Structures are given as structure tokens and as C-alpha cells.
Amino acid sequence: MARSNSMIDLQKEYFKALELHDRGCIEDAERAYRSILKREPFHFGATYSLAAVFLSRGDYEAAETHLARAISIEPRNPLAQINRGVALKSLGRLALHGCSNRAAPEFRAGSL
């Protein structure tokens, strides 16, 4: 039961972090995401949202690192795949990425 309560608390903290992020309190949101990841390193939402913080700052290297981690947690998440492509393109490394959209075929060029 304690594990269940801690997961509920973690999710509540994550939703508060998202609220901060939405309100433009980016530094506070970043601290909250990092705090969540210290306790639950495989929390997809906090990992992905931290990557979004880095993308918005133009820190594509950190964004790509966190997006790769997010994809390792949820390999078929299309938004993580697409945003990793954005980060890699910005780093000039898109060709090294290969075809990450294999996990999300509905987003392949020409398929829409």
C-alpha cells in the first residue's frame, strides 16, 4: 500500500510540475521534474517534460539525451520520436538517427 501511495503522490507532483510549466514557471517546473526523476528514474512524463524544457531553451544536446531516455521507457510514443528528430536535426545528426519513426508509422512522410 505504501508503494501505491507514493506513486499517487508522485503523479500529483508531476501534475503540479506540468501546471508550473504551462504557466511559464520553467525553472520551477524543471526542478520539480528533476525531483521526480531522483525518486522514479523511469517516469516517462517527467523525462519527456524535462526534454521539452531543454528543447524550448535550444539545448538540443540535453533534449536529445532525455528524449532518447523517454523513448527507452515508452518506445512507441510518437511525440517523443518526433521531438527527438527535431533535436537531432538541430544538432545536424538526423542521418545518424536512422528512421526513428518506425515506432510511429502513422507519422511517416506521405502517410497522412
Tell me if the pTM is above 0.85: no
pLDDT band at 106 (very low <50, low <70, confident <90, very high): very low
Residues 30, 7: contact at Cβ < 8 Å?
Answer: no
What domains appear along the chain, each with residue ranges and CATH number? 2-105 (1.25.40.10)
Residue 77 has which C-alpha cell? 510514443
Q: pLDDT of 14-69, one tens digit each? A: 999 999 999 999 999 999 999 999 999 999 999 999 999 999 999 999 999 999 99
Mean pLDDT in the chain?
Answer: 87
Q: Where are the alpha helices (DSSP H) in 1-112?
A: 2-22, 26-39, 44-57, 60-73, 78-90, 94-97
According to the model, what pLDDT value does residue 98 have?
56
